[in-house]
Amino acid sequence: MTKRDDPSPDRLVVALAYDGLCTFEFGLAVEVFGLNRPEMGADWYRFAVAAVDEGPLRATGGVRIMVDGGLDLLEVAGTIVVPGWRGAEAPLPAALVAALRRAHARGARLLSICSGVFVLAGAGLLDGRRATTHWRHAPVLAARFPAVTVDPDVLYVDEGQVLTSAGSAAGLDLCLHLVRRDFGAAAANRVARRLVVPAHRDGGQAQFVERPVPRPGPEARLAPLLDRLLASLEQPHSLAGMADAAGLGLRSFIRHFKAATGMAPGEWLLAQRIARARELLEEGRTGVEQVAEACGFGTAATLRHHFRRRLGLAPAAYRARFGAPAMPQ
């Protein structure tokens, strides 16, 4: 991380506050960007709160909010966080829309958490882009804003200057992702450890969609299998072999596996292998060929294929962006 005596203006993160503020989503932004972290150096984020509305601002749970200024703060912010909104149909103040458009035009980054996506979409800043929100809001978002490509499954979407997250805690995933983008994997890991959360989670919202609590039975028998798979990602695992290990028929195994994890067996296994590969690449001590072998991809070509498909980056590019200096290939 680069350290400077005079923090860059681009490090100023401004979170919006409005009457009816989503307390939890706002708190996520505060935890990542608003706490004093001297161990992160002089170039760490600065944080301010901008009022959308005049007068006393109330947050969910009876909390009252004190702000640092009004929408004028958006004129100097490097990153603007929209922590939820009053509702999908709630009107947007014209002054807020104008301020967000000006900020976007001058290059500020815009980040929404959960229903905050409706603010960005209502300002026209998501047209022609991918975006996500809580899976319960996704159909409404797609219907109201057909120019937006809504992905209802992912935890967050990074479109460069505009970033959106799914509901509630997925906002923390996105905030940590931004730290990783700005300062690298080591910094994101350090913040995550302070928060006692994973530095990044894999999989999509499907694993969290409401479903009946599984009764004792086949799903419960999958736990030992999942543990064995995680401990032997470098080994080949056929669908038939996994079903046999779980003591289930093939079709029954697939059905129960998806009910328990939200993913098909092959999809889940691939997600775990990619997660492990990301960890090894971020550590920076293992070559791409060795990472491919250790994670069960077999060859570097196969690893590159899945990395580009899932993450939009080659493994070497991922390590250069998020990890230690690349090892010789």
Q: How do residues 229-263 score in pLDDT, each as one tens digit?
A: 988 999 999 999 999 998 899 999 998 888 887 78
Q: What is the pLDDT of residues 181-209, one digit of tens each?
A: 898 888 888 888 888 777 666 555 554 44
Does this model's pTM top 0.85? no
Distances from the Cα of 303 to the Cαs of 234, 259, 280, in angstroms? 12, 28, 13
Does pLDDT of 272 surpass 50? Answer: yes
Find the mean pLDDT for residues 214-228: 69
Which spans in 42-184 are helix H?
A: 94-105, 117-122, 138-144, 170-183
Pairing of strands 156-158, 162-165: antiparallel
Find the mean pLDDT for residues 218-239: 84
- What backbone phi and psi angles, to 5 degrees, belong to 198? -65, 145
Find the mean pLDDT for residues 299-310: 91
pLDDT at 325: 40
Domains 9-195 and 214-329 share a fold: no
pLDDT at 310: 82
Cα–Cα distance between 121 and 138 in angstroms, integer? Answer: 12
Q: What is the pLDDT of residues 134-148, one digit of tens each?
A: 988 999 999 999 999
pLDDT at 3: 34
pLDDT at 260: 81
Task: Of 9-13, 86-90, 241-245, give the lowest mean pLDDT range.
Answer: 9-13
DSSP 19: T
pLDDT band at 218 (very low <50, low <70, confident <90, very high): low
pLDDT at 241: 93
pLDDT at 286: 82
Q: What is the pLDDT of residues 276-290, one digit of tens each?
A: 898 888 887 788 999
Q: What is the CATH number of domain 214-329?
A: 1.10.10.60
Find the mean pLDDT for residues 100-127: 97
Domain spans of the chain?
A: 9-195, 214-329
Does pLDDT of 80 surpass 90? Answer: yes
pLDDT at 323: 65
**Other residues' Cβ atoms within 10 Å of the Cβ of residue 250:** 12
- Name the token pair of 155: 């935890």
Does pLDDT of 12 surpass 90? Answer: yes
Identify whether the C-beta of residue 165 lies closer than 8 Å to the C-beta of residue 132: yes
Please state at what angle helix 250-261 crosses helix 218-231, rounded to 10 degrees: 80
Cα 248 to its chain centre, rounded Å, is 35
pLDDT at 284: 76
Q: DSSP strand E in 7-159: where?
A: 12-17, 46-51, 57-59, 63-65, 79-83, 109-113, 130-131, 149-150, 156-158
**CATH says 9-195 is which class?**
alpha beta
Burial class (CB in 10 A: 0-12, 13-18, 19+), 256: buried
Does pLDDT of 326 surpass 50? Answer: no
- State the average pLDDT for the chain: 86
pLDDT at 328: 38
Top-confidence range, 6-10, 32-36, 69-73, 165-169: 69-73
pLDDT at 196: 77
